[in-house]
């Protein structure tokens, strides 16, 4: 959060999340199901390969950076 406006917007979202947690949990579950549906497409993958693929999806998601401050575009930071 880089500006007072961003902080204010974030506070509103936090209040909404606390007021409607089930909605946000369901949305999160659906989002992750879509990530996995798109990323786990090899029918011949072993369970170990599938675990590695899931970890890769988690890592890419966690390292995603949206524009803000000196970052002018969407990017992924190396891990």
| Residue at token pair 């966690």 | 62
Summarize pLDDT for 34-67 with one digit per residue, the tens.
999 999 999 999 999 999 999 999 999 999 999 9
Length of the chain equals 79
Region of residue 69 (phi > 0: left; psi between -120 and 50: alpha; otherwise: beta): left
pLDDT of residue 36: 97
pTM, entire model: 0.75
More confident residue, 31 or 68: 31
- Mean model confidence pLDDT for the chain: 95
| Domain boundary assignment for the chain | 4-76
CB 2 within 8 A of CB 68: yes
């Amino acid at each position: 959060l880089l500006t007072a406006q961003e902080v204010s917007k974030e506070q509103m979202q936090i209040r909404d999340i606390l007021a409607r947690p089930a909605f946000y949990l369901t949305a999160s579950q659906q989002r992750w199901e879509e990530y996995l549906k798109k990323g786990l497409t090899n029918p011949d993958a072993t369970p170990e390969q599938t675990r590695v693929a899931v970890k890769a999806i988690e890592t890419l998601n966690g390292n995603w950076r949206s524009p803000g401050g000196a970052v002018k575009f969407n990017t992924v930071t190396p891990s």
